[in-house]
Amino acid sequence: MRVLNFGSLNLDYVYAVPRFVRPGETLAAENRRVMPGGKGLNQSVALARAGCCVFHAGCVGEGGEDLKKLLEDSGADTSLLKRVNEAQGHTVIQVAPDGENCILLFGGSNLCVTREQAVSALALFGPGDWLLLQNEIGLLPFIAEEGYRRGMTVVLNPSPYGPAVGETDLNKVSWLLINEVEAEQMTGSADPDGAWARLHAMYPRLSALITLGDKGSVCFAPDGARVWQDAFRVRAADTTGAGDTYTGYFIAGLTEGLPLQKCMALASRAAAVSVTRPGAASSIPRREELPV
C-alpha cells in the first residue's frame, strides 16, 4: 500500500537550556544545533525507515534543499515536492536537561501549498492508498476532503492544534492520532476515555490513538475495542520527534495489516529508540535497529 504524506518540512534550531525560559527572562543557551525536522518530514522519514512506500508532498523553500535530500536518503519519494520562493519553515526548540522540549513554529514555505498543487498530487492516488495529514501546512480541510473523495484512507495528526482542525470534517477521517494535550483541546476532557467518549459520540466511524508520553498509549476503535500499550523504559536524551516516530511506525503497521496491539508495540519500540538520540528526524531509527 502507498502512503501520501502531505506535510511540512522544517529546519529545527535546537537550543540546549538549563530550563525553559520564563516570561520576560533572558537565558543563556548551552549550545545550538540546526537539524532537519517538521512533523510532515519526520513522519515521512519514520514511514520510510519502517519500510513503507511513502510519497511526500509539500513545499521546499529557501534553505530547504538538504531536507529534500534527507527524505530521499531515507527512502521517501519526493517527486511531489514543489520549490517555492519563500523562507523555509522552521522551529525554535528549547531542550531541557531531562529531555523535555518546547517548540516555537514558523510556517514559511509550508504555508505556500496551493489548491492546484494539492489536486495534482492527489490525482495520482485513490482507493487502497492512505493520506496522512498534520496541521503545519495550509489547506488542511480541503486536502482531507479531496483525499476522502478519492477513496483514500485519511489519517489526521492535528498538531499543532488550531482553527483549521475545527474546520476539518472528521467524518471524512478514518484515524485521529493525538497526544493527551490535543485530546483535551479537542474535547475538553483530560481523561483519554472521556475524550474518546466525546469523539465517538460526534464521529461514530472514527478510530483514535492517544499517546500519553512515558505513560504509554491507548487506541480506541468504533467497535468498542480499547487497546493499551505501555511505553518502553529508556534514558531519554531528547524527546523531540518521538511522537512523529510513533505516528510513522504505527501507520506503517496499519498498512501492513498488523493487529492494533502489534502496531502499537512496533511504534512504541521505535519511539523509545528515538528519545535516546538528539534531534527529530535524525533520531528516527530504521526498522532493523529496533529491539525485538
**Domain assignments of the chain as residue spans, ordered by start:** 2-9+38-87+108-284
Q: How far apart are CA 66 and CA 92, in angstroms?
A: 18
| Residue type, position 122, single letter | L
Architecture field, domain 2-9+38-87+108-284? 3-Layer(aba) Sandwich (3.40)
Q: Which of 12, 129, 238, 244 is catalytic?
A: 244
Contact in structure between 110 and 97 (CB atoms under 8 Å): no
Q: Which residues of 271-281 are buried (b: 16+ CB within 10 A; e: fewer)?
A: bbbbbebbbbb
238 carries an active-site annotation:
no
pTM above 0.85, yes or no: yes
Q: Which three cell numbers stand for residue 68?
A: 529534500
| Per-residue model confidence (pLDDT) at position 239 | 84
User: Tens place of pLDDT for every residue, the chain, 292 residues?
Assistant: 899 999 999 998 999 999 999 999 999 999 999 989 999 999 999 999 999 999 999 999 999 999 999 999 999 999 999 999 999 999 899 999 988 889 898 999 999 999 999 999 999 999 999 999 999 999 999 999 999 999 999 999 999 999 999 999 999 999 999 999 999 999 999 999 999 999 999 999 999 999 998 899 999 999 999 999 999 999 888 888 899 999 999 999 999 999 999 999 999 999 999 999 988 888 999 999 998 7
Contact in structure between 108 and 86 (CB atoms under 8 Å): yes
